[in-house]
Amino acid sequence: MSEPNYRWPARDKRRVMGTRVNRIDGPAKVSGRGKYGSDINQPGMLFAALLTCPHAHARVRSVDIKEAQALKGVTAVEVMSGPGTVIQWAGTEVAAVAALTEEIARDAVRRIKVDYEVLSHAVKEEDLKAAGGRSKPAGEVLVGDPDDAFKKADVISEGEYGIPVLQHCCLEPHGQVVMWKGDTIEYWPSTQNVSGIGGDLAQSLSIPAANVHVRQDHVGGGFGSKFSADRWGVVAAKLSKASGGRPVKLFLDRRTELEIAGSRPSGFARIRLGARKDGTIIAWESQSWGTSGPGGGGVAATQLPYVFVNIPNKRVNHTGVITHTGPARAWRAPNHPQASFLTCCAIEDLAAKLNLDPLEVFDRNFQYTARPEVYRAQLRKAAELSEWEKLWHPRGQAGPGPVKRGLGIGVATWGGLGHASDCRTTIHPDGSVEVELGSQDLGTGTRTVIAMVAAETLGLSVGQIQVKIGDNRYPPSGGSGGSTTVGGVAVSTRKSTMNALQKLLEAVAPALGVSADQLEAVDGRIQVRGNPAKSLTWKAACQKLGVKPIVEMGRNDPKNPMGMISQGVGGIQIADVSVDVETGVVKLNRLVAVQDCGLIINPKTAESQVYGACIMSICGALFEERIMCQQTGRFLNADMEFYKLAGIDDIGEIIVHLDITPEHDARGVIGLGEPPVVPGIAAIANAVANAIGVRVPRVPLTPDRVLAALEGRRA
Amino acid sequence: MKRSKDPESQAQPKGLSRRGFIRGVGLSGGAVGLLHPEGEAAPAPAVLGPGPVPITLLVNGKPHKLEVEPRVTLLDALRDRLDLTGAKRVCDRGTCGACTVILGGKAVYACSVLAIDAQGKPIQTVEGINAGGRLHPVASAFVNQDALQCGFCTPGFVMAAKAFLDRNPNPTLEQVRKGLGGNLCRCGTYVGIRQAVLEAAKQMRGGARNV
């Protein structure tokens, strides 16, 4: 038989894919039965605690662990930043202790004496002039002739905008349980990277990757910050070994989690736009800056102008600012939310300056994007759902009364091509089916999507598929980053289950008196194509296998997507806010998200991704920011009381519209985790400007910033 | 008297007062005096700790005897000593609600209650209300409405929602939005949670099992 046709069934032929399926790990999670890394309790398990550095910049002179070692119940102490180490950010791990209980481990940490030579620090980057020698200019990007274009422009609009460092703030902190006994390591991390993290740990410990066994049923959030084993993984393994191979649990406390386990680069920019009277942009000039921590960095200037990449005349400069702060990690759609905010605010300000409806100005400039027609259609849809025609007014003309309503637009783009993934399907003679991948479900619904693809292919129900993920002994699958998981696992599962089915059809063909290529799997039966009367039940068909199960592999190769996956989506969001100009409080009335998405396997969990992304944007627009103190060098709000996230009453109404159409469906599966988290901050910031008549240059749009912007106007 | 206003101290077994605890863990006399100005005149209670002390927790209908240091929170006792890991440790400072359990009929943050103070009152955890493989109507509504993603805040939300519905069996959407303000989610599942609580309310009013 030739290679099976792996292509997705036609839309009208799908029985499982495209239906709204409850996530299959839901019952385990809602009942508390599901085990996360931090829930693992092993016999004889020890608890570890970290000593972290209180200084943002310091040289370690000495570390004295004797008193800690002497404490009853302590089994091992490891120094992580020995004498001579220069600490570059507060919260850096200095030593770790393993003990019989967490309380004893914490007591022991307090007994460690560290002598620091405190060095001068700099933790702020908002003011580029103050950065001095900490500035790292990235070099100019020049396209066309911006100077000439600005001269020819009918109008020049200028603005300054800023978006701060945010933290991942995963609810499950980073950490692991690890047991290093003899030559082998049993490892229960909290990770986005089940197939890869074992090798990372092994490399740090100079042992063979094959000796590390990784297991993880569930992970309590990652958002881009949980790919590597990290120093806490390495030290936990060493503590285990030093404690005779007893398992060690080490998870970061909340302050440390926020200080060192991941942040998103900030982005500030002065942007100048030259345009014609009708709003067509002819020139872009930006000087941006920001920080990713000790490396400088900041939002990637290559992302500016965002989406409107083909503006003909551009001058783009960026300066990274070095700070003594915890380093950045990939954060759900790296660089995109910041770049969208900076770009869309500048365009909205241009529209206001020209007294034009921003709907018209965005639409006109979509000519500079990779997919003008997609954006135009999405903008029309978002305008309709947000009642733009009825509710929009020119900037600042919100009418009398202290509560001003306004609307604003944000745009997005993302890739989302499925990553490399291998899948193994086993059909047992009793009819049970196992599908195994070294993947992980971050809460995006990966398990459910795998089950749905397998069920679709085998003509079974979702409940008949046993999905096994979260173990590095299963065939390898990529880490979950870049919205690459759904495409990767969907294709490898499709191919693997189809290969297995082909073997089954070959085995049962003689019994049905036809050749295998005349058979199909439908509704729990193997039948002669189009003839349910000539069929076997799934169970009876599998019994024909005798004693030997079918085991077949399937692989997604991103270089050869075979029309089953693709990449590149847009996305438009429109925010509707009310701002009390007496108190400065911004209330989100509504956020409309229009998102193209390719072929959607499970609309239910896909919509949840968009709802969640919108809520994350609301957090970033109105509440979240890392606040550094230049006096102490510390992260002032490294807790959940003052590092503010939106609560259930802060989010208004969210309207999600997925572009599920034949044209988009034909593109195949595309990742959806990241694109909808991009445009919301821009949309909300623009809605506030529209409502109150002035630009609040920095997010989050806290009452003090709103009032200050209003004062500036009056002054 | 200050103590008489504190409902939690009334339920404590003999010899296990909060004052005794505070002295037991070795705070200075000055601090005790500040917290309890009447302390000087009261008879000296038994000193507890700082080492492990025997306690009994009534969890999901069963008494559990264990030995913990007086400083151990109810959350850590449940998670580390009883392997009841449904309640999660997230902020560990009474902000996020991921550790919510029901203590004496009231939703509490288990990270902010000491295990020794949780004695003598029934403690319900998310495992308890979903025992025997049957989902409580609140939990089942969370699945139906896809009111979860990573799921780490979910058990806390389920318990907070159950306690909320026990007191407000017929809430409006507005009441749900206010009533569950004590829990935080990072994935952004609030849209589903709102719907789930309303669905559960309907189910529970309709005579479904109500633990």
Based on the structure, what is the number of domains in chain B?
A: 2
Only one residue has tokens 């909290």, namely A190
Going by the DSSP 8-state scheme, the letter that residue A677 receives in this structure is G
What residues of B are in contact with residue A609 (Cβ under 8 Å)? 149
Only one residue has tokens 């007591």, namely A107
Angle separating helix axes A703-714 and A680-692, nearest 10 degrees: 40
Residue B44 has pLDDT above 90, yes or no: no
Q: Which residue in A has a C-alpha nearest to residue B150's C-alpha?
A: A443
DSSP notation for A171-217: SSPSEEEEEEETTEEEEEE--S-HHHHHHHHHHHHTS-GGGEEEB-S
Residue A30 to residue B139, Cβ atoms within 8 A: yes
- Is the residue at B46 inside a domain? yes
* Amino acid making up residue A399: G
pLDDT for the residue numbered B42: 60
What tokens does A101 get? 């209980």
pLDDT for the residue numbered A677: 98
Residue B107 has pLDDT above 50, yes or no: yes
Going by the DSSP 8-state scheme, the letter that residue B78 receives in this structure is I
Mean pLDDT of chain B: 84
Best residue of B72, B79, B90, B130 to probe chain A, by most A CBs closer than 10 Å: B90
| Cα A96–chain centre separation | 30
- Is the residue at B61 inside a domain? no
- Is the residue at B71 inside a domain? no
Residue B140 has pLDDT above 50, yes or no: yes
A440 within 8 A of A387, measured Cβ to Cβ: no
Residue B143 to residue A221, Cβ atoms within 8 A: no
CA distance B130 to B138: 10
Question: Chain B: nearest CA to A380, how far in angstroms?
Answer: 25
Of the pLDDT bands very low, low, confident and very high (cuts 50, 70, 90), residue B26 is very low
A522 within 8 A of A459, measured Cβ to Cβ: yes
B88 touches chain A (CB under 8 A): yes
Residue B86 to residue A32, Cβ atoms within 8 A: yes
* 3 state DSSP class of A515: coil
Q: Angle CA(A635)–CA(A641)–CA(A646) in degrees, nearest 5?
A: 110
| Cα A362–chain centre separation | 27
Best residue of B143, B175, B193 to probe chain A, by most A CBs closer than 10 Å: B143
What is A263-415+567-714's CATH number? 3.30.365.10
Of the pLDDT bands very low, low, confident and very high (cuts 50, 70, 90), residue B14 is very low
Residue B140 to residue A30, Cβ atoms within 8 A: yes
Residue B43 has pLDDT above 80, yes or no: no
Which of A 231-260 lie inside 8 A of B, CB atoms?
Answer: 251, 253-254
- A653-659 and B106-109 beta bridge pairing: unpaired
* 3 state DSSP class of A432: coil
* C-alpha dist (Å) from residue A61 to A82, A85, A110, A194, A235: 8, 8, 18, 38, 21
Q: Which residue in A has a C-alpha nearest to residue B94's C-alpha?
A: A641
pLDDT for the residue numbered A112: 98
Smallest CA-to-CA distance from B108 within B162, B144, B152 is with B162
A43 touches chain B (CB under 8 A): no
A221 touches chain B (CB under 8 A): yes
CATH T-level fold of A37-120+174-251 = Aldehyde Oxidoreductase; domain 3 (3.90.1170)
B152 touches chain A (CB under 8 A): yes
What residues of A are in contact with residue B143 (Cβ under 8 Å)? 22-23, 26-27, 30
What residues of B are in contact with residue A35 (Cβ under 8 Å)? 85
- Interval B107-122 mean pLDDT: 98
Partner residue facing B187 (CB), from A33, A254, A612: A612
- Is the residue at B58 inside a domain? no
> Is residue A607 packed enough to be buried (19+ CB in 10 Å), middle (13-18) or exposed (0-12)?
buried
ipTM of the complex: 0.97
- B29: containing domain: 1-50
Mean pLDDT by 10 residues, chain A (715 residues): 86 97 98 98 98 98 98 98 98 98 98 98 95 93 98 98 98 98 97 98 98 98 98 98 98 98 96 98 98 92 94 97 97 97 98 98 98 97 98 96 98 97 98 98 98 98 98 98 97 98 97 96 96 95 97 97 96 98 98 96 98 98 98 97 97 96 95 97 98 97 97 66
Question: Chain A: nearest CA to B62, how far in angstroms?
Answer: 18
pLDDT for the residue numbered B38: 45
Residue B120 has pLDDT above 70, yes or no: yes
Q: Which residue in A has a C-alpha nearest to residue B85's C-alpha?
A: A39
SS3 content of chain B, % helix, strand, coil (to 5): 45, 15, 45
Residue A612 to residue B140, Cβ atoms within 8 A: no
Residue A30 to residue B96, Cβ atoms within 8 A: no
Of the pLDDT bands very low, low, confident and very high (cuts 50, 70, 90), residue B27 is very low
pLDDT for the residue numbered A94: 98
- Start-end ranges of CATH 3.90.1170.50 in chain A? 37-120+174-251
Q: Please name the residues in contact with A553: beta carbons below 8 A apart, sequence gap of 6 or more.
A: A422, A423, A424, A425, A475, A496, A499
Backbone angles phi, psi at A180, to 5 degrees: -105, 100
Which of A 360-399 lie inside 8 A of B, CB atoms?
Answer: none
What tokens does A582 get? 């007496």
What residues of A are in contact with residue B186 (Cβ under 8 Å)? 169-171, 221, 223, 616, 645
What tokens does A22 get? 């409850």
Best residue of A29, A192, A256, A611 to probe chain B, by most B CBs closer than 10 Å: A29
Partner residue facing B150 (CB), from A103, A221, A616: A221
pLDDT for the residue numbered A300: 83
Residue B45 has pLDDT above 80, yes or no: no
Q: Which residue in B has a C-alpha nearest to residue A673's C-alpha?
A: B187
* Amino acid making up residue A134: R
Cross-strand partners of B17: none
Positive/negative CA dihedral, B128, B132, B137, B143 = positive
CATH, residue B140:
1.10.150.120
B175 touches chain A (CB under 8 A): no
* 3 state DSSP class of A112: coil
Statement: A11-34+418-556 belongs to CATH 3.40.50.10140? no
- The region that residue A310 occupies, defined by phi over 0 for left and psi between -120 and 50 for alpha, beta otherwise, is alpha
Residue B96 to residue A613, Cβ atoms within 8 A: no
Residue A39 to residue B98, Cβ atoms within 8 A: no
- The region that residue A406 occupies, defined by phi over 0 for left and psi between -120 and 50 for alpha, beta otherwise, is beta
A34 touches chain B (CB under 8 A): yes
* Amino acid making up residue A538: W
pLDDT for the residue numbered B50: 85
Which of A 658-697 lie inside 8 A of B, CB atoms?
Answer: none
pLDDT for the residue numbered A316: 97
Partner residue facing B151 (CB), from A443, A604, A616: A443
Which of A 590-609 lie inside 8 A of B, CB atoms?
Answer: 604-605, 607-609
Residue A612 to residue B149, Cβ atoms within 8 A: yes
Positive/negative CA dihedral, A594, A600, A603, A609 = negative
Residue B150 to residue A613, Cβ atoms within 8 A: no
Residue B96 to residue A39, Cβ atoms within 8 A: no
Q: Note the pLDDT tens digit of each residue in B46-81.
A: 778 789 999 999 999 999 999 999 999 999 999 999
Q: Please name the residues in contact with B74: beta carbons below 8 A apart, sequence gap of 6 or more.
A: B57, B101, B103, B108, B110, B111, B113, B114, B115, B117, B118, B123
pLDDT for the residue numbered B206: 84
Positive/negative CA dihedral, B77, B79, B81, B82 = positive
- Start-end ranges of CATH 3.30.365.10 in chain A? 11-34+418-556, 263-415+567-714
- Is the residue at B163 inside a domain? yes
Partner residue facing A649 (CB), from B88, B158, B177: B177
Residue B85 to residue A32, Cβ atoms within 8 A: yes
Positive/negative CA dihedral, A196, A201, A202, A203 = positive
- Is the residue at B178 inside a domain? yes
pLDDT for the residue numbered A302: 86
A36 touches chain B (CB under 8 A): yes
pLDDT for the residue numbered B41: 55
Going by the DSSP 8-state scheme, the letter that residue A327 receives in this structure is P
What residues of A are in contact with residue B93 (Cβ under 8 Å)? 254, 639-641
- Is the residue at B137 inside a domain? yes
Total CB pairs under 8 A between chain A and B: 174
What tokens does A225 get? 């910050």
What tokens does A305 get? 């102008």
Residue B188 to residue A613, Cβ atoms within 8 A: yes
Q: How many Cβ atoms from other residues are within 10 Å of residue A115's Cβ? A: 12
Which of B 42-71 lie inside 8 A of A, CB atoms?
Answer: 69, 71
What tokens does A671 get? 């990742």
Residue B90 to residue A651, Cβ atoms within 8 A: no
Question: Chain B: nearest CA to A43, how far in angstroms?
Answer: 11
- Is the residue at B122 inside a domain? no
- Interval B102-113 mean pLDDT: 98
A41 touches chain B (CB under 8 A): yes
